[in-house]
Structure 1
Amino acid sequence: MDILQTIQTRRSIRRFKSDMIPKEILDKIITAGTYAPTARNTQSPIIIAVTNKGLRDKLSKINAEIMGTEDDPFYGAPVVLIVLADKTCRNRVYDGSLVMGNLMLAAHHLGIGSCWVHRAKEEFERKEGLDILKSLGIDGDYEGIGHCVLGYVDGDYPEMPERKENWVYHID
Protein backbone atom coordinates (compact mmCIF):
# COMPACT_ATOMS: atom_id res chain seq x y z
CA MET A 1 0.00 0.00 0.00
CA ASP A 2 1.48 3.39 -0.92
CA ILE A 3 1.30 6.39 1.39
CA LEU A 4 -1.61 8.10 -0.43
CA GLN A 5 -3.65 4.89 -0.39
CA THR A 6 -2.92 4.50 3.33
CA ILE A 7 -4.09 8.07 3.99
CA GLN A 8 -7.22 7.72 1.85
CA THR A 9 -8.38 4.38 3.28
CA ARG A 10 -7.75 4.81 7.03
CA ARG A 11 -10.91 4.93 9.14
CA SER A 12 -11.67 5.22 12.84
CA ILE A 13 -12.48 1.80 14.27
CA ARG A 14 -14.98 1.46 17.09
CA ARG A 15 -15.09 -2.30 17.56
CA PHE A 16 -11.98 -4.33 18.28
CA LYS A 17 -11.10 -7.96 18.86
CA SER A 18 -9.42 -8.72 22.19
CA ASP A 19 -6.36 -10.27 20.45
CA MET A 20 -3.11 -8.57 21.44
CA ILE A 21 -0.99 -6.92 18.76
CA PRO A 22 2.44 -8.57 18.39
CA LYS A 23 5.23 -6.51 19.97
CA GLU A 24 7.12 -6.20 16.66
CA ILE A 25 4.12 -4.54 14.99
CA LEU A 26 3.37 -2.34 17.99
CA ASP A 27 7.00 -1.18 18.08
CA LYS A 28 6.80 -0.17 14.40
CA ILE A 29 3.66 1.88 15.06
CA ILE A 30 5.26 3.59 18.06
CA THR A 31 8.43 4.34 16.09
CA ALA A 32 6.32 6.02 13.40
CA GLY A 33 4.89 8.29 16.11
CA THR A 34 8.38 9.36 17.14
CA TYR A 35 9.07 10.56 13.59
CA ALA A 36 6.21 13.05 13.50
CA PRO A 37 7.35 16.59 12.79
CA THR A 38 7.44 18.91 15.79
CA ALA A 39 7.90 22.68 15.95
CA ARG A 40 11.59 23.52 16.00
CA ASN A 41 12.26 19.79 16.38
CA THR A 42 11.51 20.13 20.10
CA GLN A 43 10.15 16.57 20.19
CA SER A 44 7.91 17.68 23.05
CA PRO A 45 5.48 14.72 22.96
CA ILE A 46 5.90 11.43 24.78
CA ILE A 47 4.06 8.17 24.18
CA ILE A 48 2.94 5.82 26.95
CA ALA A 49 2.20 2.36 25.53
CA VAL A 50 -0.37 0.53 27.65
CA THR A 51 -0.75 -3.20 27.01
CA ASN A 52 -1.41 -4.14 30.64
CA LYS A 53 -5.12 -5.03 30.80
CA GLY A 54 -5.51 -3.84 34.39
CA LEU A 55 -4.14 -0.38 33.64
CA ARG A 56 -5.98 -0.23 30.33
CA ASP A 57 -9.26 -0.98 32.13
CA LYS A 58 -8.49 1.59 34.84
CA LEU A 59 -7.85 4.27 32.19
CA SER A 60 -11.06 3.28 30.40
CA LYS A 61 -13.03 3.69 33.63
CA ILE A 62 -11.53 7.13 34.32
CA ASN A 63 -12.16 8.21 30.72
CA ALA A 64 -15.76 6.96 30.85
CA GLU A 65 -16.33 8.85 34.11
CA ILE A 66 -15.07 12.08 32.52
CA MET A 67 -17.28 11.39 29.50
CA GLY A 68 -20.30 10.68 31.71
CA THR A 69 -20.89 7.08 30.60
CA GLU A 70 -20.33 3.55 31.79
CA ASP A 71 -19.45 2.27 28.30
CA ASP A 72 -15.85 1.49 27.32
CA PRO A 73 -14.63 4.60 25.47
CA PHE A 74 -11.72 2.50 24.11
CA TYR A 75 -14.16 0.23 22.20
CA GLY A 76 -12.55 -2.96 23.50
CA ALA A 77 -9.12 -2.15 22.03
CA PRO A 78 -6.39 -4.10 23.83
CA VAL A 79 -3.72 -1.41 23.33
CA VAL A 80 -3.81 2.26 24.29
CA LEU A 81 -1.04 4.62 23.21
CA ILE A 82 -1.31 7.81 25.24
CA VAL A 83 0.26 10.89 23.70
CA LEU A 84 1.21 13.70 26.07
CA ALA A 85 3.28 16.80 25.41
CA ASP A 86 5.41 19.11 27.51
CA LYS A 87 3.29 22.04 28.70
CA THR A 88 6.24 24.42 28.40
CA CYS A 89 6.16 24.03 24.60
CA ARG A 90 3.73 26.45 23.03
CA ASN A 91 3.07 24.13 20.06
CA ARG A 92 2.49 21.02 22.17
CA VAL A 93 -1.07 20.34 20.98
CA TYR A 94 -0.04 20.58 17.32
CA ASP A 95 3.06 18.45 17.90
CA GLY A 96 1.07 15.81 19.76
CA SER A 97 -1.65 15.84 17.09
CA LEU A 98 0.93 15.06 14.43
CA VAL A 99 2.18 12.16 16.56
CA MET A 100 -1.40 10.86 16.78
CA GLY A 101 -1.77 11.10 13.00
CA ASN A 102 1.45 9.17 12.40
CA LEU A 103 0.39 6.47 14.88
CA MET A 104 -2.99 5.98 13.19
CA LEU A 105 -1.57 5.94 9.65
CA ALA A 106 1.21 3.50 10.57
CA ALA A 107 -1.30 1.24 12.31
CA HIS A 108 -3.55 1.15 9.24
CA HIS A 109 -0.60 0.51 6.96
CA LEU A 110 0.33 -2.50 9.14
CA GLY A 111 -3.22 -3.92 9.23
CA ILE A 112 -4.16 -2.62 12.69
CA GLY A 113 -7.31 -0.63 13.43
CA SER A 114 -7.14 2.62 15.37
CA CYS A 115 -9.24 5.41 16.80
CA TRP A 116 -8.38 8.74 18.44
CA VAL A 117 -10.11 8.92 21.82
CA HIS A 118 -10.20 12.25 23.63
CA ARG A 119 -10.13 13.23 27.32
CA ALA A 120 -6.42 12.48 27.87
CA LYS A 121 -6.03 16.11 28.98
CA GLU A 122 -8.58 15.66 31.74
CA GLU A 123 -7.23 12.22 32.72
CA PHE A 124 -3.72 13.51 33.26
CA GLU A 125 -4.88 16.53 35.25
CA ARG A 126 -6.31 14.09 37.82
CA LYS A 127 -4.36 12.50 40.64
CA GLU A 128 -4.69 9.06 39.03
CA GLY A 129 -3.07 10.28 35.82
CA LEU A 130 -0.33 12.15 37.64
CA ASP A 131 0.34 9.02 39.70
CA ILE A 132 0.82 7.01 36.49
CA LEU A 133 3.41 9.51 35.24
CA LYS A 134 5.16 9.46 38.61
CA SER A 135 5.21 5.64 38.66
CA LEU A 136 6.97 5.69 35.28
CA GLY A 137 9.54 8.21 36.50
CA ILE A 138 8.24 10.89 34.13
CA ASP A 139 9.18 14.31 35.44
CA GLY A 140 7.85 17.57 34.10
CA ASP A 141 4.46 19.04 33.40
CA TYR A 142 2.66 17.18 30.61
CA GLU A 143 -0.68 17.73 28.91
CA GLY A 144 -2.65 14.77 27.61
CA ILE A 145 -3.23 15.13 23.86
CA GLY A 146 -5.07 11.91 23.02
CA HIS A 147 -5.35 8.15 23.24
CA CYS A 148 -4.62 6.15 20.12
CA VAL A 149 -6.49 2.91 20.74
CA LEU A 150 -5.27 -0.02 18.66
CA GLY A 151 -6.38 -3.53 17.84
CA TYR A 152 -7.63 -5.88 15.18
CA VAL A 153 -10.91 -4.82 13.59
CA ASP A 154 -13.93 -6.79 14.80
CA GLY A 155 -16.33 -6.87 11.86
CA ASP A 156 -16.36 -5.04 8.56
CA TYR A 157 -13.98 -2.21 7.85
CA PRO A 158 -15.91 1.09 7.55
CA GLU A 159 -16.65 2.40 4.06
CA MET A 160 -15.10 5.65 2.90
CA PRO A 161 -17.64 8.48 3.10
CA GLU A 162 -17.93 10.90 0.21
CA ARG A 163 -15.72 13.97 0.47
CA LYS A 164 -17.65 17.18 1.18
CA GLU A 165 -18.00 19.89 -1.44
CA ASN A 166 -15.97 23.07 -1.09
CA TRP A 167 -13.21 21.36 0.88
CA VAL A 168 -10.46 23.06 -1.08
CA TYR A 169 -10.25 26.56 -2.53
CA HIS A 170 -7.56 27.43 -5.06
CA ILE A 171 -5.98 30.83 -5.49
CA ASP A 172 -4.15 31.07 -8.81
Structure 2
Amino acid sequence: MEFDHVLAVRSSVRRYTDEPVSEEEIEKIIAAGERVPVGHFDFKNYAIAAITDKKILQLLAEENQALSGRGDPIYGAPLLLLIMSTPEARADSIKLNAGIMAENMHLKAVDLGLGSICIYSFIRTLNSTEGYGRYFQAMHLPEGLQPAMAVAVGHTPVPQRERRLVPRIKTFRIDGKE
Protein backbone atom coordinates (compact mmCIF):
# COMPACT_ATOMS: atom_id res chain seq x y z
CA MET A 1 0.00 0.00 0.00
CA GLU A 2 1.32 3.50 -0.75
CA PHE A 3 2.26 5.52 2.32
CA ASP A 4 -0.14 8.40 1.63
CA HIS A 5 -2.96 5.87 1.26
CA VAL A 6 -2.02 4.24 4.59
CA LEU A 7 -2.25 7.67 6.22
CA ALA A 8 -5.58 8.39 4.55
CA VAL A 9 -7.25 5.13 5.70
CA ARG A 10 -5.63 4.97 9.13
CA SER A 11 -8.18 5.02 11.93
CA SER A 12 -8.55 3.81 15.51
CA VAL A 13 -10.49 0.55 15.29
CA ARG A 14 -12.62 -0.65 18.18
CA ARG A 15 -14.28 -3.74 16.63
CA TYR A 16 -12.54 -7.02 15.85
CA THR A 17 -13.39 -10.49 14.62
CA ASP A 18 -12.20 -13.68 16.32
CA GLU A 19 -9.80 -14.43 13.45
CA PRO A 20 -6.25 -14.61 14.82
CA VAL A 21 -3.47 -12.42 13.48
CA SER A 22 -0.98 -14.64 11.65
CA GLU A 23 2.60 -15.11 12.88
CA GLU A 24 3.84 -13.52 9.63
CA GLU A 25 1.67 -10.44 10.26
CA ILE A 26 2.83 -10.23 13.88
CA GLU A 27 6.47 -10.36 12.78
CA LYS A 28 5.94 -7.60 10.21
CA ILE A 29 4.21 -5.37 12.76
CA ILE A 30 6.94 -5.94 15.35
CA ALA A 31 9.60 -5.17 12.72
CA ALA A 32 7.86 -1.84 12.07
CA GLY A 33 8.05 -1.13 15.81
CA GLU A 34 11.76 -1.87 15.78
CA ARG A 35 12.38 0.58 12.93
CA VAL A 36 12.16 3.63 15.15
CA PRO A 37 14.54 6.40 16.05
CA VAL A 38 15.04 5.90 19.79
CA GLY A 39 16.65 8.88 21.51
CA HIS A 40 20.29 8.41 22.53
CA PHE A 41 20.26 5.02 20.73
CA ASP A 42 18.64 3.64 23.91
CA PHE A 43 17.22 0.47 22.31
CA LYS A 44 18.42 -1.80 25.12
CA ASN A 45 15.93 -0.20 27.51
CA TYR A 46 12.82 -1.08 25.49
CA ALA A 47 10.99 -4.32 24.75
CA ILE A 48 7.84 -5.40 22.90
CA ALA A 49 5.62 -8.29 23.98
CA ALA A 50 3.18 -9.78 21.45
CA ILE A 51 0.31 -11.15 23.54
CA THR A 52 -2.22 -13.54 22.02
CA ASP A 53 -2.88 -15.60 25.17
CA LYS A 54 -6.66 -15.32 25.67
CA LYS A 55 -6.36 -15.85 29.44
CA ILE A 56 -4.01 -12.87 29.83
CA LEU A 57 -6.15 -10.69 27.55
CA GLN A 58 -9.24 -11.65 29.58
CA LEU A 59 -7.46 -10.87 32.84
CA LEU A 60 -6.55 -7.44 31.46
CA ALA A 61 -10.21 -6.80 30.54
CA GLU A 62 -11.41 -7.94 33.99
CA GLU A 63 -8.88 -5.78 35.84
CA ASN A 64 -9.69 -2.73 33.74
CA GLN A 65 -13.43 -3.26 34.28
CA ALA A 66 -13.02 -3.62 38.04
CA LEU A 67 -10.89 -0.52 38.31
CA SER A 68 -12.31 1.87 35.75
CA GLY A 69 -15.72 0.44 34.88
CA ARG A 70 -14.86 0.84 31.19
CA GLY A 71 -14.60 -2.81 30.18
CA ASP A 72 -12.10 -4.28 27.76
CA PRO A 73 -9.50 -1.64 26.93
CA ILE A 74 -8.46 -3.49 23.76
CA TYR A 75 -12.01 -4.04 22.48
CA GLY A 76 -11.64 -7.80 22.03
CA ALA A 77 -8.59 -7.59 19.75
CA PRO A 78 -6.83 -10.96 19.49
CA LEU A 79 -3.37 -9.35 19.64
CA LEU A 80 -1.94 -6.86 22.10
CA LEU A 81 1.49 -5.43 21.43
CA LEU A 82 2.78 -4.12 24.74
CA ILE A 83 5.68 -1.67 24.58
CA MET A 84 7.75 -1.65 27.75
CA SER A 85 10.73 0.19 29.18
CA THR A 86 13.29 -0.58 31.85
CA PRO A 87 14.04 1.64 34.86
CA GLU A 88 17.24 2.70 33.08
CA ALA A 89 15.36 4.26 30.15
CA ARG A 90 15.55 8.05 30.09
CA ALA A 91 12.36 9.10 31.89
CA ASP A 92 11.94 12.21 29.74
CA SER A 93 11.89 10.11 26.55
CA ILE A 94 9.85 7.01 27.40
CA LYS A 95 6.45 8.26 26.22
CA LEU A 96 7.96 9.78 23.08
CA ASN A 97 9.89 6.64 22.11
CA ALA A 98 7.01 4.30 22.98
CA GLY A 99 4.58 6.52 21.07
CA ILE A 100 6.72 6.40 17.93
CA MET A 101 6.99 2.60 18.22
CA ALA A 102 3.22 2.35 18.65
CA GLU A 103 2.49 4.59 15.66
CA ASN A 104 4.86 2.60 13.43
CA MET A 105 3.10 -0.64 14.43
CA HIS A 106 -0.34 0.96 14.03
CA LEU A 107 0.52 2.12 10.50
CA LYS A 108 1.95 -1.30 9.56
CA ALA A 109 -1.25 -2.99 10.74
CA VAL A 110 -3.21 -0.65 8.45
CA ASP A 111 -0.82 -1.48 5.61
CA LEU A 112 -1.59 -5.18 6.16
CA GLY A 113 -5.34 -4.53 6.04
CA LEU A 114 -5.78 -5.05 9.80
CA GLY A 115 -7.53 -2.89 12.33
CA SER A 116 -5.62 -1.39 15.24
CA ILE A 117 -5.65 1.23 17.95
CA CYS A 118 -2.89 2.81 20.02
CA ILE A 119 -3.76 2.71 23.73
CA TYR A 120 -2.30 4.32 26.82
CA SER A 121 -5.22 4.80 29.23
CA PHE A 122 -5.29 1.29 30.74
CA ILE A 123 -1.54 1.39 31.26
CA ARG A 124 -1.74 4.69 33.14
CA THR A 125 -4.68 3.43 35.23
CA LEU A 126 -3.33 -0.02 36.08
CA ASN A 127 0.27 1.17 36.68
CA SER A 128 -0.84 3.83 39.14
CA THR A 129 -3.22 1.74 41.23
CA GLU A 130 -1.99 -0.49 44.04
CA GLY A 131 -2.89 -4.16 43.64
CA TYR A 132 -3.53 -4.07 39.89
CA GLY A 133 -1.42 -5.33 37.02
CA ARG A 134 -2.02 -9.07 37.48
CA TYR A 135 -2.30 -9.37 33.68
CA PHE A 136 1.28 -8.07 33.47
CA GLN A 137 2.57 -10.35 36.22
CA ALA A 138 0.95 -13.35 34.50
CA MET A 139 3.28 -12.95 31.51
CA HIS A 140 6.39 -13.73 33.60
CA LEU A 141 8.55 -11.20 31.79
CA PRO A 142 12.06 -10.27 32.93
CA GLU A 143 12.23 -8.21 36.11
CA GLY A 144 12.13 -4.45 35.77
CA LEU A 145 10.08 -4.03 32.61
CA GLN A 146 7.27 -1.50 32.90
CA PRO A 147 4.39 -1.03 30.40
CA ALA A 148 4.65 2.26 28.51
CA MET A 149 2.24 2.04 25.56
CA ALA A 150 0.17 -0.55 23.69
CA VAL A 151 -1.31 -1.34 20.30
CA ALA A 152 -4.32 -3.63 19.91
CA VAL A 153 -4.50 -5.38 16.52
CA GLY A 154 -6.88 -7.70 14.75
CA HIS A 155 -9.01 -8.45 11.75
CA THR A 156 -12.01 -6.17 11.68
CA PRO A 157 -15.41 -6.00 10.02
CA VAL A 158 -14.87 -2.23 9.72
CA PRO A 159 -13.85 -1.49 6.11
CA GLN A 160 -10.87 0.74 5.47
CA ARG A 161 -12.06 3.93 3.87
CA GLU A 162 -10.17 6.97 2.81
CA ARG A 163 -10.85 9.97 4.98
CA ARG A 164 -10.83 13.47 3.58
CA LEU A 165 -8.09 15.63 5.11
CA VAL A 166 -9.64 18.27 7.32
CA PRO A 167 -6.87 20.57 8.61
CA ARG A 168 -7.31 20.84 12.38
CA ILE A 169 -3.85 21.86 13.51
CA LYS A 170 -2.58 25.40 13.11
CA THR A 171 0.42 25.53 10.84
CA PHE A 172 2.82 28.38 10.22
CA ARG A 173 5.22 28.90 7.34
CA ILE A 174 8.35 30.83 8.16
CA ASP A 175 10.17 31.41 4.89
CA GLY A 176 12.06 34.68 5.41
CA LYS A 177 10.34 36.40 2.50
CA GLU A 178 9.35 40.03 3.10
Q: How would you bin the TM-score normalised by the shorter chain? A: 0.7 to 0.9
Q: Deviations over 1:57-99 (max 9, x none)?
A: 1112222333322x32211211111112223322111111111
Confirm or deny: 8 A CA contact 2:95 2:149 kept in the other structure. no
SS in 2 for 1:168: coil
Q: Which residue of 2 aligns with 1:109?
A: 111
Q: Provide structure 1 residue ranges, at least 5 long, that are not aligned to the other structure.
A: none
The farther-off stretch of 54-63 and 99-108 is 54-63
Mark the CA change 1:111 to 1:132 in structure 2 (over 3 Å): closer, same or farther.
Answer: same
Q: Which residue of 2 aligns with 1:67?
A: 68
Of the two, which has the highest radius of gyration? Answer: 2
1:132 maps to 2:138: yes
Shift of 1:170: 1.1
Counterpart Cα distance in 1 of 2:14 and 2:161 = 10
Shift of 1:10: 0.9
The farther-off stretch of 80-89 and 12-21 is 80-89
Counterpart Cα distance in 2 of 1:128 and 1:10 = 32
Confirm or deny: 8 A CA contact 2:80 2:151 kept in the other structure. yes
Shift of 1:147: 2.0
Shift of 1:124: 4.2
Q: In structure 2, what residue type is equivalent to 1:80? A: L
In the TM superposition, what are the counterparts of 1:85-100 in structure 2 within 5 Å? 85-88=85-88, 89-90=90-91, 91-100=93-102
Same amino acid, percent of matched pairs: 23
Counterpart Cα distance in 1 of 2:9 and 2:16 = 18
Q: In structure 1, what residue type is equivalent to 2:100? A: L
Q: Provide structure 2 residue ranges, at least 5 long, that are not aligned to the other structure.
A: none
Counterpart Cα distance in 1 of 2:26 and 2:53 = 14
Confirm or deny: 8 A CA contact 1:85 1:93 kept in the other structure. no
Q: Which residue of 1 aligns with 2:163?
A: 160
Confirm or deny: 8 A CA contact 1:17 1:152 kept in the other structure. yes
CA RMSD of aligned residues (A): 2.1
Aligned residues: 168
